[in-house]
Structure 1
Amino acid sequence: MTIEKRPLSLTINGKKIEHEAVPVGMPMIDFLHEYLDLTGTHFGCGQGVCHACTVVEILPDGSKQESRTCIYDAHFFNGKNIITIEGQAETDDKGNVIKLTPIQQAFIDNFAFQCGYCTPGFVAGATVFLDRLNKNPVKRADLEKAIEEALDVHICRCTGYVRYYEAIRDVALATPGCVID
């Protein structure tokens, strides 16, 4: 029995990726891990429920959305543009981190993670949430509820939600245009 393979072309972390023979039905998370050695995105439940496998998808209009990599096969992402956790921070030519994103830094400053397994998904979710706030700010009084609504699909087994939400709130409040009084 032969496994059907097809070409795959997409942009990951700002780089055009072209592979001639990717197995049909291979989950995107496996493609990231096995073909590209991008192992920061974590496999959690395998059913798209926990969101540990979430990456940021940049849509053609420039807006961002969350995409789960455990339930979609690699070919679902053909022609798309995504950012994994490895592509979030600013790096030099050798891949050394120069500067973390405000969300990543806030997660560290607030010790928002415990085991860190869900953190890449939370970074992706928070990045998408802040992108939306930049386009549609919320009232300060509604910020907590907006954070909960945006990120309640992300599961943290260590129950680090309070610190994640505090970190996200700190970034939203410090980013001009995200919150209105």
Structure 2
Amino acid sequence: MIEKIKIQLRINDKDVSEIAFPELTLADFLHEKIGLRGTKVSCGIGVCKACTVAARRPGQSSFERIQACVMPVVALNGCDILTVEGLASSQSLSLQQQSFLKHFSFQCGYCAPGFLMGVTLLIDQLKRKPIKRENLDKLIEENIGEHICRCTGYAKYYQAIHAIIAETPGLVV
């Protein structure tokens, strides 16, 4: 018989302590145990990036990209997790969410949480290490290019991302 394990995380600035089977993925943990359903599962093998969340390991200052559909939640025990639900405040949408809406970036919206988290991680990276403007397109492609959307041509996502970066001082030099 497989024993359950105590999981302690900080999800969207809230401490969470739950008991879970070791093979439970982070996506299933978020959906079934915590009730956060914004993180989407599409391919189930970590390729499409719809399930992207951010995780900060103990002792680290920056977040890393995690594909929640394939990551066992036990591998993240003790981590800070940021999901799409953690981007907005109770008063307003995040800059990323506002820009995606303004630019009509998505159609069905299923992939939008993964794109939003990818952009959030990109902005976090640029805040720590700004880049030259001429390298921006390449960096966006490296960070967002693997996200799969079956409804759009990606152009509006890229327009929204450029707008976010242009509106945020200090990200490019």
Compute the TM-score of the two structures, normalised by the length of structure 1: 0.90
Report the counterpart of residue 94 of structure 1 in structure 2: none
State the alpha-carbon separation in 1 of the partners of residues 143 and 84 from structure 2. 19
1:102 is aligned to 95
- How far, CA to CA, are the matches of 1:13 and 1:113 in structure 2? 24
Assess if the C-alpha contact under 8 Å between 1:89 and 1:99 holds in 2: yes
Aligned with 1:124 (options 99, 104, 117) = 117
Amino acid at match of 2:25: P
Number of the residue aligned with 1:148: 141
User: Which residue type is aligned with residue 149 of structure 2?
Assistant: C
- State how far apart, in whole Å, the 1-side matches of 2:109 and 2:123 are: 21
Q: Secondary structure at the match of 1:173?
A: helix
Q: Please point out which of 15, 31, 34 is paired with 1:33.
A: 31
Moved over 4 A (4+): none
- Aligned equivalent of 1:163: 156
1:44 aligns with 2:38: no
Contact kept in structure 2, 1:9 and 1:78, CA below 8 Å:
yes
The Cα shift of 1:66 comes to 1.1
Q: Aligned with 1:7: secondary structure?
A: strand
- What is the Cα-based RMSD across aligned positions, in Å? 1.2
Give, in angstroms, the shift of residue 73 of structure 1: 1.1
Alignment of 1:43-122 (within 5 A): 43-59=41-57, 60-91=59-90, 98-122=91-115
For structure 1, list consecutive stretches of 5 or more residues without a partner in the other structure. Answer: 92-97
Instruction: Note the alpha carbon deviations across 1:112-164, whole angstroms, 9 max, x for none.
Output: 11111111111110001011111221222221221111111211111341111
Q: Deviations over 1:72-111 (max 9, x none)?
A: 11111110001111111012xxxxxx11111111001001
Partner of 2:10: 11
Using the size of structure 2 for normalisation, the TM-score is: 0.94
Give, in angstroms, the shift of residue 58 of structure 1.
Answer: 2.6
Q: Contact 2:106–2:152 at 8 Å: present in 1 too?
A: no
Q: Distance in 1 between matches of 2:119 and 2:93?
A: 14
Aligned-pair identity (%): 44
Once residues 40 and 160 of structure 1 are traced to their aligned partners in structure 2, the CA distance between those partners, rounded to angstroms, is: 22
Question: How many residues are paired up?
Answer: 172
Q: Indicate the SS of the match to 2:105.
A: coil
* Equivalent position SS for 2:162: helix
**Using the alignment, how far apart are the partners of 1:142 and 1:74 within structure 2?**
35
Q: Structure 2: 5+ residue runs without aligned partners? A: none
